Structure 1
């Protein structure tokens, strides 16, 4: 592997050298055959001589005439409605390679404000200037100034030499890179499929007292994401999840490990972290992050295949909000943490459908008295879950602003839950991602900006949801989570409290319904949140 890397490096250096030599050869030939420039007309509209009217027809000597550096003359003029063409500057132009094969000072186009620029090779060639638009055949001669366009050379032997030299070299470079990438992917697949090298010990103990290495056997890939693949693995008699990071994503592995290893990070609604390992050597190195395994998988996978009852919806959403509230709030030595990639794929479900939050590769912690790294201000996360202030690049660089981003995404995830709830008054739609109806399954950043920022769109609420009092109440909470104004969004603690109240009310109504089956006395009516109907409250 090291040999392949060295060979690739040598090939790259050789290609660079050949390219430079080809260009240098073409330039040197052109310098030898073409005219030279020793002096040019000089004019500066801002100089003192302009005040004294003594600038006209001044010349200056060009210093690079005898060197290998090409020197040219230049002129800058402006076209005004009042005075016509007005000269701004004239003089020597050191970067004469831009002006090869131009013996007359002719501008091809304008850049801004009717300003023109031209350069040429030859003594005093900038005395007469002209504008020759690329779309017309007749130039306009004038005494004016111009913009600073990039000269366009057509039919130049130098350009042909460069093209003929670089095209095959570029093709060879691309083929080499593709072959290298394919070899690297092959070795990486072999690494995670059949482990042949001895692993290094776990950097974090699996239990408070057990520090000895425990063997792991990868079984099957459960998911693939931005930073690698997640495997179901067996460690002794238990199943665990192993997130495998390739070598180039080592920093993501370190970042996620640092978040999991924070003090007081253990919580029922945070994925349990077990340890890390380093596997392989050199370019074959892979980094493993080992966590608890949950058979039900992610909330995204669960909702695609299952409907949820009203009680189950409340339980999942409430436990999810509880985990998010734990992240956002300090807890002893644990600082506040913003997830920054909150979505249904990063919420796992335990066997009893309790939610736990996973994937902290993009998470950021807020240590007291410390400023955030500038890298944390970059746009990260999943496009369809990005808040409007992220999409339009107007996020505030502080703790509260980062927490509000998570809450916007939380509202979208709760919407996903509601969309698959069987308590709604009508047929349940097939699972759809947030904004899938509005922008499709693979929206571009521009499409998300247009939908979320320009038109302020949000995933739609169905009429059948509003006929269920509990779902209608939950939709209000969703709207307050994804409010366009970040400061108006609910906190995770507030969402948790609302969902807890909905869950308690639902359970109380169910208990009341059971009592009514054994009590036939006339009682007041209350709303049953579990199915949207009305039931009698028993008199005790």
Structure 2
């Protein structure tokens, strides 16, 4: 929560009340060092004259070097990806006004400059030098200056630098020419080298052109429909991307994700086992082969038949939004059109999570209070990001509503956090959409999880926020499912979906109308659940989320904040955000 707040507030200034010296000399008695390391030193974040507690230093945030000195995390400029007027001549300033405290003591400051046909961007972050970044090794991690080095990357000019001095990635240097004592000699060397490389370079280009022509000619013979492949809109996936997909590692977003690709080459994927089947598609566990035949990465492939092109396109378009990327939303790799013996198919290729969907996980496992807190908090954060009109870094983003939230459309990651999937019925809340456009979106979703106003087809189409309110209702039912399988409440019964004792396995809309509209029914909350303070707060929250009146429901962001408070029970504020309902005019009051 602290890091999201740090990167999301704009503009901001970090105010350090107290900062321990960056190193503690070896002659200081060890007991004194330990006492200082155990003290909570508050760091506060100032935004528009309001002070917010951000994080507390403790011994877990410090490391010791070989001399016994204690080191604190580095301070770096942290503005993620931004448009820039900086060219790659000599040096320039990042113009980033956000200074971040790195999460780990060994992280260093990194800057990335990119130029393509459309724009120039500059990215400033903290990063672990032992890990690759954008698929490249982080060099010069101990340097006091951020000296850019060019990296080979298709389709764009790409420079990256690293350094290990406070805010050193604010001033970026593009070439040794800037600091060299004899720049003219350097230019002469470059010119001579370029001339000497021209003959072999010309031969290499000729060989590549000949090979390409042969490949194209051969492909035309093998595939009669080759010409039509030029019109495909595929997602970007390059061979040099560092994809880390399975289990916990899926949290690390690939540099390939959520970009458009115009390559005609299909990925070397071998389908393995069928792991899921829904109304529109089947999901397979698959192997994505690497450069050598024996190496592969495990991915998930969602295959739509030809008849479900619309669902595939909707989900592909949702995933293609670069601003959708979030740790609690399924990581998307690419989309493909494939021709098989059974006809044309449409593929979505994503990260694979071995624990399966939330419904399957709750059926097989009883969860602890800590598990419930992690699952519920991550679910709320994912939905809040989906609904938000900006990213955590402040960039504008198109709000999206899921419209089919249920436990089988939520995956469980290896660290027991949730990520949302299955966006085939999702809707982008484009402000240009008319009331007629929204009305034509239809009554969609799964009947068991439909909000009262959806069952009754009486949504307020004048207010796009009403679509978010239906997602919040569905989220409340999923939170109830989690709570019903938590051993902190005492006796835990076998898994049962919401309204499981009142309707059949796949209830129709009319059956749900009887329970939800006529009887005003909701899943039962036994009184003994309320004996646990944390469970009591969760029950209060989900009760407010499934309120019959859409305007009375909480926002997903408010639910995320409540779960964040549950991490610190001693600081519970008596539902500080319980009044943050979605107003009738659809606007959210951001003033405190």
**TM-score normalised according to structure 1 size:** 0.55
| 5+ residue gaps, structure 2 | 1-224, 242-254, 290-295, 573-592
Pair 1:288 & 2:319 matched: no
Cα deviation for residue 262 of structure 1 reads 1.3
State the match for 2:124 in structure 1. none
Pair 1:481 & 2:545 matched: yes
Cα deviation for residue 374 of structure 1 reads 4.6
Q: Which has the larger radius of gyration?
A: 1
Partner residue of 1:386 out of 433, 439, 450: 450
State the Cα deviation string for residues 170-209 of structure 1 (Å, max 9, x = none).
xxxxxxxxxxxxxxxxxxxxxxxxxxx9997981123457
Partner residue of 2:427 out of 361, 364, 377: 364
> Where in structure 1 do 4 or more consecutive aligned residues deviate above 6 Å?
197-202
State the match for 1:403 in structure 2. 468
- Tell me which protein shows more helix as a share of its residues: 1
Partner residue of 1:423 out of 488, 506, 512: 488
Asked if structure 2 preserves the Cα contact closer than 8 Å seen for 1:348 and 1:358, the reply is: yes
State the match for 1:204 in structure 2. 235
Partner residue of 1:460 out of 524, 546, 554: 524
Secondary structure at the aligned position of 1:285 is classed as: strand
Q: Following the alignment from structure 1 to structure 2, what is the Cα–Cα distance between the partners of residues 280 and 437?
A: 45
Pair 1:335 & 2:398 matched: yes
> Mean alpha-carbon deviation: is it higher for 450-459 or for 359-368?
359-368
> Mean alpha-carbon deviation: is it higher for 451-460 or for 467-476?
467-476
Q: Following the alignment from structure 1 to structure 2, what is the Cα–Cα distance between the partners of residues 475 and 251?
A: 38
1:438 to 1:503, Cα distance in 2 relative to 1, 3 A: farther
Q: Following the alignment from structure 2 to structure 1, what is the Cα–Cα distance between the partners of residues 482 and 407?
A: 9
Cα deviation for residue 466 of structure 1 reads 1.5
Q: Following the alignment from structure 2 to structure 1, what is the Cα–Cα distance between the partners of residues 439 and 421?
A: 22
Partner residue of 2:302 out of 238, 243, 258: 243
Pair 1:436 & 2:500 matched: yes
Q: Following the alignment from structure 2 to structure 1, what is the Cα–Cα distance between the partners of residues 470 and 320?
A: 24
State the match for 2:275 in structure 1. 222
Cα deviation for residue 245 of structure 1 reads 0.3
1:247 to 1:452, Cα distance in 2 relative to 1, 3 A: same
| 5+ residue gaps, structure 1 | 1-196, 510-540
Pair 1:347 & 2:410 matched: yes
Q: Following the alignment from structure 2 to structure 1, what is the Cα–Cα distance between the partners of residues 466 and 440?
A: 12
**TM-score normalised according to structure 2 size:** 0.50
Q: Following the alignment from structure 2 to structure 1, what is the Cα–Cα distance between the partners of residues 235 and 441?
A: 30
State the Cα deviation string for residues 193-226 of structure 1 (Å, max 9, x = none).
xxxx999798112345796643001111111101
Asked if structure 1 preserves the Cα contact closer than 8 Å seen for 2:266 and 2:336, the reply is: no
Secondary structure at the aligned position of 2:327 is classed as: coil
1:275 to 1:428, Cα distance in 2 relative to 1, 3 A: same
Asked if structure 2 preserves the Cα contact closer than 8 Å seen for 1:335 and 1:368, the reply is: no
1:502 to 1:376, Cα distance in 2 relative to 1, 3 A: farther
Root-mean-square deviation over aligned CA pairs: 2.3
Asked if structure 2 preserves the Cα contact closer than 8 Å seen for 1:269 and 1:355, the reply is: yes
Cα deviation for residue 281 of structure 1 reads 6.2
Q: Following the alignment from structure 2 to structure 1, what is the Cα–Cα distance between the partners of residues 417 and 505?
A: 28
